[in-house]
């Protein structure tokens, strides 16, 4: 495997960044995960839009122009022979003597890109049976709209889910509403067929998969309502599912030990999963 590290394509096994990289010391950086399908990037334009926004919110410079960045993403995918999988990009404020305040202007941001294959067969098998979710108290900072590499609460929540035999943890805010999963956006389908997901104004990362699924659902004549929902509403929902670039639409069949509907993936989730790529942009 090959990784891109600050201007070089190097063997993945020995690819490394400096010990004084601010990503390493302060989580002072952001990332993106973009799906690769048939060797092509899925919705890369939107992922790069979000990358630019995350960086600008943190006042980190874009490590290179968009066209160059696209070329690096493509090159890493090609050099690794990835047909179906993901490409990962991480940009940090760069390398400088440890000091919380920003380093001197002109300090170059660091850029790392890796790619890996996904076991598509395993993912499809999982989608046919659905996954379990647990709910945990929201304990992240309020700026979860920025896709930072500061993911400690997400790491702990995912581990808690894993130890409970679940695939994902949904954070629940102080008002008792689900915000999102530790690495996915959260959705339910109500008894009258409305597709419900939390508005992007607060408490969530504005998922690219979420945006495409919303567009797909509307194009398929389904009703999408952006509003917050509680775990109790989710237990009683007709369907539940999660979305992310790495798992696409993944049905949820159990939440906190409550079986959702008949315990099988719902028809809305199945249709959205099946039709997702008709509505995503390939480049």
- Give the interface with ligand PLP as residue ranges (CB under 6 A): 33, 180, 183-185, 205, 207-210, 243-245
C-alpha 230/C-alpha 255 separation (Å) is: 12
List, in order, residues 6 or more apart from 169 with CB less than 8 Å away. 133, 134, 135, 136, 157, 158, 160, 161, 181, 182
CB atoms within 10 A of CB 102: 15
Do residues 237 and 225 make contact, with C-beta atoms less than 8 angstroms apart? Answer: no
Our CB check for ligand PLP shows the closer of 95 and 205 to be 205
Catalytic entry in 147, 158, 162, 218: 147
Tokens found for residue 93: 């404020």
Q: Least separation, in Å, of the C-beta of 71 and ligand PLP?
A: 22
Q: Would you say 94 or 207 has its CB closer to ligand PLP?
A: 207
Based on the residue annotation, tell me whether 147 is a catalytic residue of this protein: yes
Shortest distance (Å) from residue 121 CB to ligand PLP: 21
Closest separation in Å from C-beta 204 to ligand PLP: 6
Do residues 57 and 146 make contact, with C-beta atoms less than 8 angstroms apart? yes
Q: Which C-beta is closer to ligand PLP: that of 54 or that of 184?
A: 184
Closest CA to 217 of 270, 145, 281: 270
Q: Cβ closer to ligand PLP: 74 or 198?
A: 198
Please answer whether residues 51 and 91 qualify as being in contact, where contact means their C-beta atoms are separated by less than 8 angstroms.
yes
Match 């108290």 to its residue by tokens: 137
From the CB of 96, what's the least distance to ligand PLP, in Å? 27
Q: Would you name the residues annotated as active-site residues?
A: 147
């Amino acid at each position: 495997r090959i990784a891109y590290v600050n201007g070089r394509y190097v063997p993945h096994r020995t690819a490394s960044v400096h010990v004084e990289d601010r990503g390493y010391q302060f989580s002072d950086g952001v990332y993106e995960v973009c799906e690769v399908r048939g060797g092509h990037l899925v919705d890369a334009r939107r992922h790069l839009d979000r990358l630019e926004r995350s960086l600008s919110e943190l006042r980190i410079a874009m490590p290179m122009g968009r066209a160059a960045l696209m070329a690096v993403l493509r090159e890493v995918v090609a050099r690794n022979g990835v047909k179906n999988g993901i490409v990962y990009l991480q940009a940090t404020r760069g390398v400088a003597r440890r000091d919380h305040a920003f380093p001197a202007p002109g300090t170059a941001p660091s850029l790392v890109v890796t790619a890996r294959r996904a076991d598509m067969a395993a993912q499809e098998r999982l989608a046919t049976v659905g996954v379990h979710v647990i709910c945990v108290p929201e304990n992240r900072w309020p700026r979860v709209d920025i896709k930072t590499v500061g993911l400690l609460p997400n790491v702990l929540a995912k581990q808690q889910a894993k130890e409970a035999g679940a695939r994902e943890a949904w954070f629940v805010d102080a008002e008792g509403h689900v915000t999102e999963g530790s690495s996915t956006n959260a959705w339910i389908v109500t008894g009258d067929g409305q597709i419900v997901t939390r508005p992007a104004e607060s408490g969530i990362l504005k998922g690219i998969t979420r945006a495409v699924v919303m567009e797909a659902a509307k194009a398929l004549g389904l009703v999408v309502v952006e509003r917050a929902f509680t775990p109790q509403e989710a237990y009683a929902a007709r369907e539940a599912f999660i979305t992310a670039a790495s798992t696409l639409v993944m049905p949820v069949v159990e939440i906190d030990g409550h079986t959702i509907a008949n315990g099988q993936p719902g028809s809305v989730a199945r249709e959205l999963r099946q039709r997702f790529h008709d509505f995503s942009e390939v480049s």
